[in-house]
C-alpha cells in the first residue's frame, strides 16, 4: 500500500479522499471527508461541516461509494461486510 490516496473527489471546498488499506492480508477502503478553508495565507482542512455543506457532502459520499463499488480493485466482500 502506498501513502497516496486511491481516489479523490472534490466539490468546491469539500473533498472525499478514498484510501486503500490492508489488514490481515485483505484490502479494504476507508474514506475521509474534509472541508478546506483559508486561515490568513494558509490553507487548512477541517472535518467540521456547516449546514450548507451537508448536501454536497452527501453527494460526495455517494460518489465515493459508487467509485469503490465499481473499482476493479474492490475486494468482493468489502462493501458487503458493512451492509449488515
Higher pLDDT, 56 or 73: 56
Set of cell numbers at residue 24: 490481515
Domain residues of the chain, as ranges? 7-83
pLDDT average, residue stretch 70-81: 61
pTM here is 0.80
pLDDT average, residue stretch 55-63: 98
| Widest Cα–Cα separation across the chain | 45
pLDDT digits 0-9 by tens, 1-53: 568 999 999 999 999 999 999 888 888 999 999 999 999 999 999 999 999 99
Amino acid at each position: 500500500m502506498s501513502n497516496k490516496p486511491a481516489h479523490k473527489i472534490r466539490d468546491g471546498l469539500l473533498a472525499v479522499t478514498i484510501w486503500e488499506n490492508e489488514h490481515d492480508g485483505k484490502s479494504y477502503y476507508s474514506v475521509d471527508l474534509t472541508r478546506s478553508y483559508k486561515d490568513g495565507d494558509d490553507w487548512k482542512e477541517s472535518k467540521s461541516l456547516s449546514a450548507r455543506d451537508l448536501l454536497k457532502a452527501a453527494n460526495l459520499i455517494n460518489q465515493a461509494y459508487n467509485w469503490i463499488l465499481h473499482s476493479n480493485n474492490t475486494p468482493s466482500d468489502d462493501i458487503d461486510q458493512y451492509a449488515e
